[in-house]
Amino acid sequence: MDSFEIDPSLPPYATFAPIPTNIGATKYPQQPAENTAIENSNMFRVLGIGPPMHFDCSISFTIYCSEKTKRNTTNWVALRQLSDLSVTFNTNNTMNWLTFQHLVADQCNNNYNYLFRMITKGTNTTPATMAWSVYILKSKKFPKKSPLHLFDEAYFGQFLNEIVSSKLTKGGVTIRMENPQKEIVRARKEDLLAKTMKRISARSQVTTTLRSGRAMGVSDVDSGDDSSDVEFDDLDVHIDEIYGKYGMNADYDCIHPSPGEYLFQFLILSIPYLANRDVDYCPSCLEVLAHTGVAKNAGHSACQGSSPPSSVHGSSPESLYGYLKFINISSHKLYNTLISNDIDNFHMFGSLTYEELQALSFSVGIISKLRSNVEKYKVNLAHSG
């Protein structure tokens, strides 16, 4: 018999490990059990290998849209599902929070056009205007009476894990938008509460000021009705919040808002300016309007009484603002009215008559406060200085 030689160009045979004699004592890697949950690198519990779970999810939604009425008021109309809506998804598919949003919103779009865009946009804005909640029928963890609110991927993972662990296949999702009319009513009530607290604070400050005035030997002059007739508007309530958010231009001059070095760049359209301009310089339409305005203004001023005297103590809007704050009047409308009528110093209230202040549409209580606290404020400035 001829000897058999192995061709050296052929690959070598693979060597196998010997078969153990005690097979039962050998330990092999165990396969993961079905429906077991493991943790990924992000420490979120994810589903293990298991049979596919088809979950039937009913859909309900309440969304509000605004419309203008004939009286130019805003009316909020509620949109709800017109018929039974539902989606079915497989828990073993690549289902995540964003995919679930699109799946449900696309089904809602069958009832109303453009609803898909409104739901997805309202869900992913900051802050969100759409609230999502899910439930599982016959579940003790997420029943219909106590649903799970969905905010992000972690909460949606809890929803999927409960479906697999409980083996329940029916539930639902609810999308709800808060009625904006309720927000408007709530904000208005908060403003009303803030105004009430400001009035209480103003009365408390008046009491403290009167007590300190008696301690300094100042005679107690009737100061009205302790700010009971001072009404705060919405600007008074939110003025500190506005200044805190946007700041304040400290260089702004409320009396001379236009810089003096740039006045030549502006065309002043006041009536006296147009009346004194050269005819060749002004257009004909402005000339006619100027002369007409001067005639009307002259007739009006002849019938009207004399305006309050201008300040002889020097322009000091800061001292006027401090005086109004001292007597607990924080109305910006009142401050602007005084400045526009050349009343820019608190000393002027000692010489202004009741009729002159009443011509500015001030109430009796306001006029009494303005005229009766000048000496008290002088004493306060002397002690603080």
Residue 194 confidence (pLDDT): 75
Judge: domain 320-383, CATH 1.10.150.
yes
- Domain residue limits, the chain: 54-182, 320-383
Residue 92 confidence (pLDDT): 75
* Better-scored residue on pLDDT, 55 or 186: 55
pLDDT grade for 231, boundaries at 50, 70 and 90: low
Nearest to 80 by CA among 144, 174, 181: 174
**Terminal CA-CA length for the chain:** 131
Residue 40 confidence (pLDDT): 46
Give Cα 224 to chain centroid, integer Å. Answer: 38
Q: How far apart are CA 331 and CA 335, in angstroms?
A: 7
* Better-scored residue on pLDDT, 114 or 218: 114
Residue 156 confidence (pLDDT): 94
pLDDT grade for 356, boundaries at 50, 70 and 90: confident
pTM over 0.85: no
* Average pLDDT rounded to a whole number, residues 219-242: 56
Q: How far apart are CA 302 and CA 231, in angstroms?
A: 34
Residue 354 confidence (pLDDT): 82
User: Could you report the per-residue pLDDT of 111-155, keeping only the tens digit for each?
Assistant: 898 899 999 999 998 888 999 999 999 999 999 999 999 999 999
User: Could you report the per-residue pLDDT of 310-339, keeping only the tens digit for each?
Assistant: 433 344 555 788 888 888 887 678 888 888
* Average pLDDT rounded to a whole number, residues 92-113: 89
